[in-house]
């Protein structure tokens, strides 16, 4: 597998990329990933709209990969979808148990919930209470997965997985930070039958196949923007030979449409995908957001509303910051 398959079309000039660029700042319904507002740059190409939204702390080298994905989705040749609807999971941030029911209520018909755990400053007791509340809300037939974002060491992860196993976990996502730690925690807990999924160890790695090669995970969580686009993600899936969950990076509905397109092209999609996160936003860029309806989202291009682009436009200073970031990242392509 090459690091980056060709875009199959000439990369557009920088002027063309900048011509339609709009920067928005969308409020979140719930504080998530330490932020209360999600900034994103949207741009329009021959195919339609795409999103460039690496988190603000990411450096230019990492962010350029996100820009490559946006350019591919807006101008590149894309695979033909194999399905028109993508089942998605609800996402429960690291909130107090009193808020679990209201958050789940934002995800229409979702049979699966991903629950954030190992939040800095919180305890395992709080994690257990949150997961228990989700199980109580979803009943015995609901599917629950937890995501630690690499927040535990191996001993902490082993203890936590034992403590949470009573809730019949579908899998544990990124329990530890490094590939060797994932190998060890998978070895220690294999007898319990709780699969280990890898996210950060794929999308932030120099070699996204290292997790699969090391036998460090049972499932890969893939995000189209951080991995450089749909075609590169499909190459990783083909080479890894593991089941995948296509997820989002707290995108607007424009960014989620890229994730849905990727999920639509995965030959075998065994798990509900983490593409329902528009429900975590208090506002979006379109009047027809990609929110879960009966537990799934459609595979379609999203067209932003001029009214919403204007209403949630970032400040002039933040707009200029994003445009300059785009210029720097484009130079790295």
297 and 226 in one domain? yes
Nearest to 313 by CA among 293, 285, 280: 285
Q: Is the pLDDT of residue 30 over 90?
A: no
Residues 144 and 231 in one domain: yes
Alpha carbon dihedral 293, 299, 303, 309, in 10-degree steps, equals 60
Looking at the structure, tell me whether residues 23 and 46 fall in a common domain. yes
Region 155-161 average pLDDT: 98
- Is 173 one of the annotated binding-site residues? yes
Average pLDDT over residues 182-211: 95
128: in domain? yes
Tell me whether residue 30 is in a domain. yes
Inside any domain, residue 183: yes
Distance, in Å, from the CA atom of 13 to the CA atom of 16, rounded to the nearest integer, reads 5
Angle at 110 between CA 105 and CA 114, to 5 degrees: 85
Verify that 233 and 313 share a domain, yes or no.
no
Asked if residue 2 has pLDDT above 50, the reply is no
Run of H or E including 24: strand 22-32
Q: What is the pLDDT of residue 31?
A: 81
Q: Do residues 74 and 139 share a domain?
A: no
CATH code for position 181 = 3.20.20.120
Supply the angle between the helices 154-164 and 179-189 in degrees, to the nearest 10: 40
Mean pLDDT of 186-213: 95
Predicted confidence band of residue 307 (pLDDT cuts 50, 70, 90): very high
Statement: residue 1 has pLDDT above 50: no
Q: Tell me the H-state helices in the chain.
A: 14-19, 60-75, 100-104, 124-138, 154-164, 179-189, 200-203, 210-214, 224-227, 230-240, 253-265, 306-311, 316-332
Give 139: exposed, middle or buried? Use CB within 10 Å, 0-12, 13-18, 19+. exposed
Same domain for 219 and 294: yes
Mean pLDDT of 283-297: 98
Distance CA 270, CA 285 (A): 30
Q: Is residue 169 domain-resident?
A: yes
Residues 181 and 286 occupy one common structural domain: yes
| pLDDT confidence tier of residue 206, bands split at 50, 70 and 90 | confident
Work out the average pLDDT over 98-116: 97
- 28-32, 98-102, 120-124, 220-224: the lowest-pLDDT one: 28-32
- pTM assigned to the model: 0.95
Place of tokens 């070699």: 207
Angle at 208 between CA 207 and CA 212, to 5 degrees: 110
The answer to whether residue 204 is catalytic is: no
Region 58-62: mean pLDDT is: 97
Residue 316's domain comprises 14-78+307-332
From 155-159, 206-210, 325-329, the region with the lowest mean pLDDT: 206-210
Task: Pick the closest to residue 268 from 136, 79, 83 (CA basis).
Answer: 83
In this structure, is residue 5 part of a structural domain?
no
Do 35 and 112 reside in the same domain of the chain? no
List, for residues 113-141, the tens digit of each pLDDT value: 999 999 999 999 999 999 999 999 999 99
Residue 194 has pLDDT above 50, yes or no: yes
The answer on pLDDT for 3 being more than 80 is no
Helices and strands, number each (H, E), in the chain: 13, 12
- For residue 60, the domain's CATH number is 3.30.390.10
270 is in an annotated binding site: no
Asked whether residue 8 is assigned to any structural domain, the reply reads no
Quick one: 69 and 194 in the same domain? no
Q: Which of 30-34, 60-64, 101-105 has the lowest mean pLDDT?
A: 30-34
In this structure, are 32 and 141 located in the same domain?
A: no
Q: Tell me whether residue 2 is in a domain.
A: no
Q: Computed over its alpha carbons, how large is the radius of gyration of the chain?
A: 19
DSSP string, 111-151: SEEEEE---TT--HHHHHHHHHHHHHHH-TT-EEEEE-TT-
118 torsion bin: left (phi>0), alpha (psi -120 to 50), beta (else): left
199 labelled ligand-binding: yes
In terms of domains, do 30 and 118 share one? Answer: no
Confidence band, pLDDT 50/70/90 cuts, at residue 187: very high
- Indicate if the alpha-carbon torsion angle 74, 80, 84, 85 is positive or negative: negative
Give a yes or no: residue 3 inside a domain.
Answer: no
- 236 and 283 in a single domain? The answer is yes
pLDDT bin (cut points 50, 70, 90) of residue 35 is confident
Question: In the chain, how many domains are there?
Answer: 2
Q: Is it the case that residue 34 has pLDDT exceeding 90?
A: no
First to last CA, the chain: 19
- E strand or H helix that includes residue 29: strand 22-32
Decide if 116 is catalytic: yes
CA dist., res. 237 & res. 244, Å (int): 7
């Amino acid at each position: 597998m090459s690091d980056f398959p060709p875009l199959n079309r000439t990369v557009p000039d920088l002027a063309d990329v900048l011509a339609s660029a709009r920067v928005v700042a969308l409020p979140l319904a719930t504080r998530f990933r330490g932020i209360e507002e999600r900034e994103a740059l949207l741009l329009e190409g021959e195919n339609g709209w795409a999103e460039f939204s690496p988190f603000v702390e990411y450096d230019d080298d990492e962010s350029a990969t996100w820009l490559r994905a946006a350019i591919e989705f807006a101008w590149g040749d894309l695979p033909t979808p194999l399905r028109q609807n993508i089942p998605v999971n609800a996402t429960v941030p690291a909130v107090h148990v009193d808020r679990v029911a209201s958050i789940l209520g934002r995800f229409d018909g979702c049979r699966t919930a991903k629950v954030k755990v190992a939040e800095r400053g919180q305890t395992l007791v709080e994690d257990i209470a949150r997961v228990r509340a989700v199980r109580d809300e979803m009943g015995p037939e609901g599917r629950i997965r937890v995501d630690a974002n690499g927040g535990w060491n191996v001993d902490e992860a082993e203890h936590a997985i034992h403590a949470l196993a009573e809730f019949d976990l579908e899998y544990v996502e990124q329990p530890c930070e490094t590939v060797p730690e994932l190998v060890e925690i998978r070895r220690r807990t294999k007898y319990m039958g709780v699969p280990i999924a890898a996210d950060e160890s794929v999308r932030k790695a120099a070699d996204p196949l290292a997790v699969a090669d090391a036998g460090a995970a049972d499932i890969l969580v893939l995000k189209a923007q951080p991995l450089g686009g749909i075609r590169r993600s499909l190459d990783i899936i083909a080479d890894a030979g593991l089941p995948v969950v296509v997820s989002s990076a707290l995108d607007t509905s424009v960014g989620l449409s890229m994730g849905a397109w990727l999920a639509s092209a995965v030959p075998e999609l065994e798990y509900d995908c983490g593409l329902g996160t528009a429900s975590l936003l208090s506002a979006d860029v379109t009047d027809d957001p990609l929110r879960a309806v009966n537990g799934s989202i459609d595979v379609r291009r999203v067209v932003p509303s001029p009214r919403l682009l204007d209403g949630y436009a970032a400040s002039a200073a933040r707009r200029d910051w994003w445009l300059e970031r785009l210029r720097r990242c484009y130079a790295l392509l």
